[in-house]
Amino acid sequence: MSRIATVFGATGLQGGSVVRALLKDGTFIPRAVTRSVSSDAARALAASGAEVVEGDVTDYESVKRVIAGAEFVFGVTIPNFSPGGTEYDQGKYMVDAAKEAGVRFFVWSSLPSFSRLSDGKYSSPVFDGKAAVDDHLLASGIPHSVLLTGGFLENWIRPNWPGQPQLTENGEISLRTIYLPGTTGIVSWIGHDMGPCVLALIKQYDAGKLNEVNGQKYVMGTERCTIEDNFRKIEEGLGKKVNVEFAPPPALSDPRAAMIYVLKEFPWYPDMTIPDPRLIAMGVEFGTVEEFVRTELKSHLGL
């Protein structure tokens, strides 16, 4: 009988990386969940060998259908602020459906709680909602691991994303950042590392070492560094001068304000080593900022 791994967000950065890793490994058949099976990305996944299914993460019955019969689930949410569609709602649906279906192992992609980090000074429905699912997953009793992410390196090349490096007419790079000078953060190369990290955890589970990973939280990050360090690495990797403009600090009413101020004032995962040595011990080879700049960013800018 085929072993099924339900993967949410399969046409996105995180789920797509997991599907690719599962297909390459071959132990599980990835059941790739997408909002539209007719999209180009979904058709490409089907052509590569994935079982592509349509699912609505804001609808519990739909989530139950795509999880039914799966041995493993990779869960990730998408921003949605409508009733029944919040980050917490989506994650809770996945966890509850997985428990009902008897899923044997669950890997959840999460983020830190701004409310906890700042002792209530800041909050975010996205960050706090994902973190609340951590608690719900632990209480459910489902064997699981949590992968915590940092800022996505892919944000430098995603369409219409603020703060992207731009090639100017004089051959230099311009970059207008919303973050505050001196901000230290953790960066994650999602497309490169998420799939291998999930696969490494599955391999532990499949090798009878579930007790070693069950209930554990891991940071899926390549480096802890300042934004100035990142700008320097862009400059060195591209061999071009980078001109940085810092945007004025946002008002607290700005939806981005919580993330900007939390990053500046409160370290993420302060007691954890980046990259996570436990994942490295499982065989994960993390990509680097320098490698991302030389390959993804350079190509994106047409250099």
Question: Buried (b) or exposed (e) across 274-301, using 16+ Cβ within 10 A?
Answer: bbbebbeebebebbbbeebbbebbbeeb
Q: Are 275 and 207 in contact (CB under 8 A)?
A: no
Q: What is the pLDDT of residues 205-251, one digit of tens each?
A: 999 999 999 999 999 999 999 999 999 999 999 999 999 999 998 89
- The single-letter DSSP state of residue 296 is I
Predicted structure pTM score? 0.96
Q: What is the pLDDT of residues 30-52, one digit of tens each?
A: 999 999 999 999 999 999 999 99
From CA 128, how far away is CA 112, in angstroms rounded?
7
Return the structure tokens found at 18.
């997991």
Mean pLDDT of the chain, nearest integer: 95
Specify the pLDDT at position 115: 97
Q: What is the pLDDT of residues 51-80, one digit of tens each?
A: 999 999 999 999 999 999 999 999 999 877
- Domains of the chain with CATH codes: 4-300 (3.40.50.720)
Q: Is the peptide bond before 30 cis (omega within 30 degrees of 0)?
A: no
- The single-letter DSSP state of residue 85 is -
User: Which of 205, 93, 208 minimizes the C-alpha distance to 144?
Assistant: 205
